[in-house]
Amino acid sequence: LLDDVIGAIEDKDPGAVLAPVSYRFEATGGLGYPDIEALALTFLLRDEPVGARLEDVRISPGTTADSRRVDATVWFVSGTRLRDRPGPVPESAVAYRVELVFELLGTRWQAVRGAYARIDAGARSDSGGPITRARAPRTSTSVSGAAAARRT
Q: Is 13 helix (H, G, I), strand (E, B) or coil?
A: coil
Q: How far is CA 147 from the centre of its chain?
A: 12
- Mean pLDDT (10-residue bins), the chain, 152 residues: 92 95 92 93 92 94 94 94 87 94 96 93 50 32 32 32
Q: Which residues touch 79 (CB under 8 Å, ≥6 apart)? A: 48, 49, 51, 90, 92
pLDDT at res. 96: 94
Q: Where are the alpha helices (DSSP H) in the chain?
A: 2-10, 14-18, 33-44
What is residue 71's predicted lDDT score, i.e. its pLDDT? 97
pTM of the entire predicted model? 0.75
The predicted pLDDT at position 29 comes to 83
Beta bridge partner(s), residue 61: 68
